[in-house]
Amino acid sequence: MFQYNQKMLTSLLIIYPIFSAIFIIFVFYKLDKSKYKIYGVAPSYISSLALTFGLFASLTAGDVWKRIDQENAYITSEADSLRTIQRIADSFMANPEQVDEIKEHVKEYIINEQRLLTATRNTGEIYTAPSQPLTELLKIYKSEELAKDPIIQETYLKTVIELRSARFKRLEAAKSHLNIYKLLGIAIFGTLTQIAIVLSHAGNFRAQFASVFLFSGAFVAIMGLLTIFESNRVFASLVTFTPLIDALF
């Protein structure tokens, strides 16, 4: 749902704090002019709600950055596996043609993954098609060259499986998104903080207006940044592909 309604959700979450601020100020302005006027609310009431809002927003932002860090960590893991595969080929395989074949598959793997990441940056789509170069690397496990030394053969197989696992985890991390209820939680705490600000300035319309819209500016920025960083295009642009390129011998 999040992926297909990204633009609509981003727009809604960005304009919501402004409309809620206008509505809250209007309601309490009318209350101040009526017999139901509210006054005597301690300013410290704002602090508790604002602290809760800030804590919830920071934890949610932490989830977004954690996903980006995980993606980069998986790419580094893939690069380490590719280096190990090439070292095994250079050090333990006597057939130069097969060594060249392995290095060619490694090169194709890197080019293919870079192409898919670039496509995600351009289109916003996550591509999870099987990697043909990875399949070819796995087939080499049964070659006569590796069969000569069972220990090296098992090391090679383990490394290719680690490569496949890191790729799978990277693609899964790219497809995952924030739970919509976390964003709704930030919206609820933000709205409660707006109400608390108005209550603490009861009877002073100018102070209410200035304080609420000052907070609402931060409210808009938080909601906007969270939803923007959740975009597949922006997320892919924050992922570094350099470790895989550096893995080429």
Tens digits of per-residue pLDDT, 32-81? 777 777 765 666 667 778 888 888 888 888 888 888 899 999 999 999 99
Measure the CA–CA gap between 205 and 208, rounded to whole angstroms. 5
Distance CA 183, CA 226 (A): 8
**pLDDT of 191-210, one tens digit each?**
999 988 888 887 788 888 99
Q: Considering the entire predicted model, what is its pTM? A: 0.79
For residues 58 and 226, give the distance between their C-alpha atoms in angstroms, rounded to a whole number: 10
